[in-house]
Amino acid sequence: MNKETAVIRVRDLVKKFGKFTANDKLCFDVYEGEIFGFLGANGAGKTTALRILCGLSLPTSGEISVAGLDLYSNRERIKKRIGYMSQKFSLYEDLKVYENIRLYAGIYGLSRKEIKQRTDELLETLELEAVRNKRIAELPLGWRQKLAFSVAIIHRPRIVFLDEPTGGVDPITRRQFWDMIYQASRDGITVFVTTHYMDEAEYCDRVCIMEAGRIDAIGTPTELMEEYKAENMDEVFIRIAR
């Protein structure tokens, strides 16, 4: 982790839907190469903030830069440098595994040779060579999630945004999924992940806890546990929520 370079810089981010304030003056930095966890209950405003950083939603106000570029003037350029995986399942179910990889790799402008090479690599790492010609619809959910993550970083982005990536997945697959996140982080990709599983918070380098549109606490899991005199992140969260 390189504390010197912030790949995401957010100052006073506000997002309003009519009279409802979903994000109230958020300020935080995400450093190069770290795994940054965005925690909070459902409706706390995590997904809203993440969608703004991905360019899927427009902020009401605030200063934001992502991957070294100003969000307002470079939204489309930022998109080349980031990957995204949403709560909703994002691969095409009626396309085969290799067709999905080819499509996204192609959209990001990879050459035919690169596409072939990365497809082989990816399937080998995931040990999914056997299902290369299967449609996504035929795969179990856990496999699809892992595949979706790998496709989200097929173009080797600087940052990958994961919106509750492990929702509805069994504990073993969740563990494997986190192994993949670590691997991506080791490869130099900054990971921005939202979750409401507190045990996952402990896997992050730094976390930010949101409640009702505001950031309540930010720091490494150890710092937070000390500050709130808690045994684990679950307790930290409960103390903050009170």
Partner 1 sequence: MRTIIHLLQKEFIQIFRNRFMLPIIFVMPIVQMVVLVFAATLEMKNIEMIVVDKDLSEVSRRMTAKFGGSPFFNVKSFTFSIEEAEDFLRANEADIVLHIPRGFEKDLMRENQAKVQLLIDAVNATTAGLSNAYASNVLRDFNEQIIIENFGPVSQGMERVNIRYSFWYNPDLNYKIYMLPGILVILVTLIGMMLTALNLVREKELGTAEQINVTPIRKYQFIIGKLLPFWVIALFELSFGLLVGKILFHLPMEGSIALLFLFASLYLLVALSIGLFLSVISNSQIQVMFLMFFFFITFVLMAGIFTPAESMPDWAIRVNTINPLAYFIRVIRMILLKGSGFADISGEFFALGLYATVMMSLATWRYRKAA
Q: Please report, as ranges, the residues that interact with partner 1 according to CB under 8 A.
A: 54-58, 75-77, 79-80, 82-84, 86, 88-95, 99, 102-104, 106-109
Supply the minimum distance, in Å, between the C-beta of residue 55 and partner 1: 6
Supply the minimum distance, in Å, between the C-beta of residue 29 and partner 1: 22
When the beta carbons of 31 and 89 are compared against partner 1, the nearer one is: 89
Supply the minimum distance, in Å, between the C-beta of residue 102 and partner 1: 7
When the beta carbons of 98 and 178 are compared against partner 1, the nearer one is: 98
Supply the minimum distance, in Å, between the C-beta of residue 221 and partner 1: 28
When the beta carbons of 110 and 224 are compared against partner 1, the nearer one is: 110
When the beta carbons of 90 and 173 are compared against partner 1, the nearer one is: 90
In contact, 80 and 74? CB cutoff 8 Å: no
When the beta carbons of 105 and 207 are compared against partner 1, the nearer one is: 105
Supply the minimum distance, in Å, between the C-beta of residue 140 and partner 1: 18
Supply the minimum distance, in Å, between the C-beta of residue 75 and partner 1: 7
What does the H/E/C string look like for the chain? CEEEEEEEEEEEEEEEECCEEEEEEEEEEEEECCEEEEEECCCCCHHHHHHHHCCCCCCCEEEEEECCEECCCCHHHHHHHEEEECCCCCCCCCCEHHHHHHHHHHHCCCCHHHHHHHHHHHHHHCCCHHHCCCEHHHCCHHHHHHHHHHHHCCCCCCEEEEECCCCCCCHHHHHHHHHHHHHHHHCCCEEEEEECCHHHHCCCCEEEEEECCEEEEEECHHHHHHHCCCCCHHHHHHHHHC
In the sheet where 159-163 sits, what is the strand order?
82-85, 159-163, 190-195, 35-40, 206-211, 214-219
When the beta carbons of 99 and 205 are compared against partner 1, the nearer one is: 99
